[in-house]
A and B are shown apart, each in its own frame.
Chain A
Amino acid sequence: MRLLVIEDEPRIAEILKSGLRQAGFIVDAVHLCADAREALVLIPYDAAILDLGLPDGDGLELLTEVRTAHNRVPILILTARDAVEDRVSGLDTGADDYLIKPFATNELIARIKALLRRPGGALGLELHAGNIDFDTVGQDVRIGSTLLQLPRRECAVLEHLMRRQGRVVPKSILEEKLYGVDDELESNAVPVHVHHLRRKLQEAKATAEIHTIRGVGYLLTEIKE
């Protein structure tokens, strides 16, 4: 998977490159809007990391240009916090996610992976969390090497939680996903499915678990030893 890092601060660019390479990505780095524009046209990147303050222009303008040209590459914005507040609207102009400086490289990698795990993303076909492998095409779930048989609705819940792993998935979103599977949805369908799914994952000794964020939704995280 190939990423483009658009960052003008050389030390940060360097660290980003080495961190992302360690995580298994191929990384190109540019420090000017003009170079980024050219690179994005020439190479079909799987995702891009964009710093907003660049020497020859504003990252948000570049973002608008890219989206106007119908380039759907997932873009994560790196920004100073004040910029988020002043220009939070920028996220609506087509960024897929944003991260505030200073950031942890692990967090950045997790966010990038989450973007790539979206349907149609580079990691969107095969999902992994701990020892859980989810083949979205065959709807096969394996814990380690063991195949786990799951009803369709639980499969749908797990797929969504895995695509958004490490982040909270609102209960309402899961409800919407289940409507597609089952038209007659009970009011407590989501908690019931999550409950069954959680028990099955535990029994199969999965190294990822589902947390309930009462009043908000659910969260899948890997279990750390």
Chain B
Amino acid sequence: MKRFRFKSLQVRLAARLAALYVVATVIATGALIYEAYDTASSLNDRELSGRAEDLARAVSRDGAGQTRFALPARLASAYADSTDDIFAIRDAGGHLLTASPVEFGTQVSKWPLAKGDPSYFHITDLGTKEYYGLSVEVGSAAGPLSISVARAAGANALVSSVLREFVFDVAWASPLLMLATLGIGVLVVRSGLRPVREISRVAAGIGPDTTSVRLTSDDLPAEIKPLVDAINHALDRLERGFVVQRQFTANAAHELRTPLAIVTAALEAMQGDSELTKLRADVGRMNRLVEQLLRVARLDSVTLDFDAVDLNEVASSVVATMAPWAIAQGRSVAFVGADTPARAKANSVAVADAIRNLIENAVLHSPPGGEVVVTVQSGARVSVADRGCGVPLDDRERIFDRFWRGKGRKTAGAGLGLAIVQEIMRAHGGQVAVSDNPGGGALFKLAFAFADTVEPSTSSSRN
């Protein structure tokens, strides 16, 4: 069976601290109580021994050599008034000199004489009370005596109640103290882990676009610093790998251009049949693919410069550029501008590229004679609508993946166009989404994050 483990370091530390504290509290409280009771009982012992000595001083030998016992009046009345305190005194010969009460003396007479260390006893058969006491050998004017003194159980009520109160105090304060300590422990652990949470937040933001970000290890606990340093080194190596790979893609695509241009031009110059037409189309596809690979590689590696861009201007010029191609495909394009200049903080070349890719995609999916409509809306939004078969709900996330191609779709592209659009929008902090075009077809929407439509217009309104 697998043991249940807490995943959170914070919970783990707090739980262990709590367990440690519970054990420590139990031990400390136990030791304290034990010590208190021990002290109380030794106090008791000492009191009993003291009384034995007091009693021994009351024993004397008279001129006739007779042993006499005379308690001072104060003590005599104390013993006479209480049945809590009892005693019996025997001489070295074992004869009972005196006892209070007499029954105790009778019992004691049967016991061996006390020698050396005090011997403890517990009697239950004397009257209605229970007695704890000791027998001790004490020297006196009449020679060594064996004195037994005892006190009724519960007679030292003060000590007991003090003890009980103390134990009770400790008992209810302990859980409170424990909770407080636990709370402090959690807070301390939390604040100790704050730098860890901070670097976790930074680490969560690291992606293919932000490979240069590193985790700071300045405020970190010494135990975690080596881990963070190791992660940073791993990131260094990954970044180098990324750069090499991007560079390779860019170089490969770039190097492919010239031979492709040669092949393209040579094929065009040749006279021939339908086979040649197909070959030209194939080379055309390769050209497009190489071009798009280059775009992707560049988008991955180059940070774009942003300017205030009028989307009306960019979109209409892309429509103008793309129109001859669309018409050659038997489709058409149209532009619907916003009444107010739709300004976005953007890179105009990249935005033009995104719109061009969307138009290309829309034209390729349009029925013959279909019109692709590019619309700019205030709020820095551009949409491209077609009358094709639309994009099924299930595919709407994946169509933006690199090299993704819809099932059964006979498109010329490699599946990079929409991925490029998404990369461009991501670089702008914007979004691209696809939905149904009312009346049929697909509607692609670009939303730029840094829109500024309030800025006064400098260009005249367009048709």
Contacts and interface: CB of A to CB of B under 8 A. Distances in A.
Interface of A: 9, 11-12, 15-16, 18-19, 22, 80-82, 85, 88, 101-106, 166-168, 170-171, 211, 213-217, 219, 221
A166 B321 CA distance: 10
B22 interface: no
A213 B334 CA distance: 5
B327 interface: yes
A101 B261 contact: yes
* Central interface residue in B261, B332, B334, by most chain A CB within 10 Å: B261
Contact of B258 (A101, A216, A219): A101
Contact of B319 (A15, A16, A216, A221): A216
B6 to A, nearest CB: 54
B262 interface: yes
8 contacts: A15-B265, A19-B265, A81-B294, A104-B265, A168-B320, A171-B463, A211-B332, A213-B319
A168 B337 contact: no
Contacts of A101: 257-258, 261
A214 B332 CA distance: 9
B354 to A, nearest CB: 14
Given A166-B324, A168-B324, A213 B335 contact: yes
B230 interface: no
Contacts of A104: 264-265, 268
A106 B319 contact: no
A145 to B, nearest CB: 28
Closest 3 CB pairs of A and B: A215-B335, A214-B334, A102-B261
Interface of B: 254, 257-258, 260-262, 264-266, 268-269, 287, 290-291, 294, 298, 316, 319-321, 323-324, 327-328, 332-337, 349, 371, 373-374, 462-463
Q: Is the interface of B mostly helix, strand, loop or mixed?
A: helix
Nearest to A85: B349
Contacts of A171: 463
B332 A11 contact: no
Contact of A216 (B254, B320, B328): B320
A20 to B, nearest CB: 10
A216 B316 contact: yes
Contact of A80 (B257, B324, B349, B373): B257
B324 A15 contact: no
Given A81-B294, A215-B316, A105 B269 contact: yes
A106 B268 CA distance: 8
Contacts of B298: 82
A19 B268 CA distance: 8
A71 B333 CA distance: 38
B269 A216 contact: no
A81 B299 CA distance: 13
A110 to B, nearest CB: 9
Contacts of B327: 211, 219, 221
Contact of A221 (B265, B324, B336): B324
Nearest to B335: A215
Contacts of B371: 214
Nearest to B317: A216
Contact of A102 (B260, B320, B332): B260
A15 B294 contact: no
